[in-house]
Copies of this chain bind each other. A is one copy, B any other.
């Protein structure tokens, strides 16, 4: 597709009694994976499209994410001989989600993961690593990752495509209200143009008509302390988060006011792999995700013992840490540690600590060496046999699973990571009305602002996958709308 003419069509329109200042066929709120995927699809279907983004930089959490993509039936799985199926991913999602997931949404993600991955790789030209990851909560390895271990690579490719397509991306433009007409259809939105985050009322209020559809892809609210602690008073300002500053609830709230059905809002995910020695997501989270949990052990510093399968889902790991009052640390051997590209940075920032002997580790961390030595010996023996009899971790009988000196250690502290809940959509990415439980005409949503896909707990790599699956569905739906 060659560059089309710019899609901005400032043709003031009128809907019922509401005067609009501008008009597009499709308006997308948010510039992360879901929003950009929706915009690309809608534009490629020939529609005029506007993307609005409240922050000064595009990409939201997507740009700082780990770049992990759960895929069923990928070429990498095939070459590794991993027998996967959409039904198996769906079962993993529902097990972690405690059955709160809507089955048709789960099925949609699982059945479209490969198509979404290939679109990202081939249509957008995003490179992926040639190693497969066995992520927490998955019954087998199916996670793919970008070479830099960051979602920024995907966002960059999406932004390039948006530029090629001539889609305007209006920064510092925040959704204030969705406008429903007399028939209940979302006819457009009122925004703050020139918005300065996080100042309510900053910028000028203007109304933008969307003749075919609005796509909400505004992300979660992990940074919104007042909102999240209304849902869970323990998630107050003393709890850190991995999220970017703009992960706040305003757009979600405007959808609720417009009648969208909220589900699972209090299921706010705590990441079990974040470091206590840095703020936010940092450099340490991916050390633990990529090497610490798959190839190492998590022990309680107080006891020197493991207490959970390091590869169970995030909610289960967090609950063991929180309810049992654990002081968690992860320990891994050198062969595994060196696989993490940012290891040097981790060591420099003292987020990962290197010790030549177990005694040095125990002395420096002020813990008892004896039980830790026992734990390591038992784990190495289990990993040697390829079976973890105590916690059922899926270990492989490979030498890199053996934890030998020198040891690499990271000290963990869970942080708010992801909002499992949001507004409910159907498999067509249409937002459902709280009153009728049927679609709100003209309103679509995708990504973290939605709920129902993950239920109580999202598992690794499903965020990017669902953002692209439902973002594309939402964009096509709005284009046809």
Point out residues on A near B: beta carbons under 8 Å: 99-103, 226-227, 230-234, 249-250, 253-254, 256-259, 261-267, 421, 424, 432, 434-435, 437, 452
Contact = CB atoms under 8 A, between A and B. Distances in A.
Which has the most chain B C-beta neighbours within 10 Å: A103, A262, A424? Answer: A262
Given A257-B259, A266-B267, 19 more contacts: A99-B232, A99-B233, A99-B234, A100-B232, A101-B233, A102-B230, A103-B233, A226-B437, A227-B437, A250-B435, A253-B435, A254-B435, A256-B259, A256-B434, A257-B434, A262-B265, A263-B265, A264-B266, A266-B266
A459 B233 CA distance: 19
8 contacts: A99-B232, A103-B233, A230-B261, A230-B452, A231-B264, A254-B435, A263-B265, A265-B265
A257 B259 CA distance: 5
B266 A230 contact: no
Number of identical protomers: 2
* 10 pairs of A and B residues whose beta carbons are closest in the complex: A253-B434, A253-B435, A226-B437, A262-B262, A264-B266, A231-B263, A99-B234, A257-B259, A102-B233, A230-B437
Main secondary structure of the interface of A (DSSP, over half): loop
Contacts of A266: 100, 263-264, 266-267, 421
Contacts of A262: 256, 262, 265
A223 to B, nearest CB: 14
Nearest to A227: B437
A250 B437 CA distance: 11
Contacts of A258: 257
Nearest to A103: B233
Nearest to A232: B100
Contacts of A434: 227, 249, 253, 256-257
A266 B261 CA distance: 12
A118 to B, nearest CB: 30
Given A263-B265, A266-B263, A233 B437 contact: no
A432 B263 CA distance: 18
Contacts of A101: 233
A434 B434 CA distance: 15
A424 B261 CA distance: 16
Nearest to A99: B234
B265 A233 contact: no
B432 A100 contact: no
A106 B435 CA distance: 30
A435 B250 CA distance: 6
A233 B424 contact: no
A103 B234 CA distance: 10
Contact of A230 (B227, B233, B424): B424
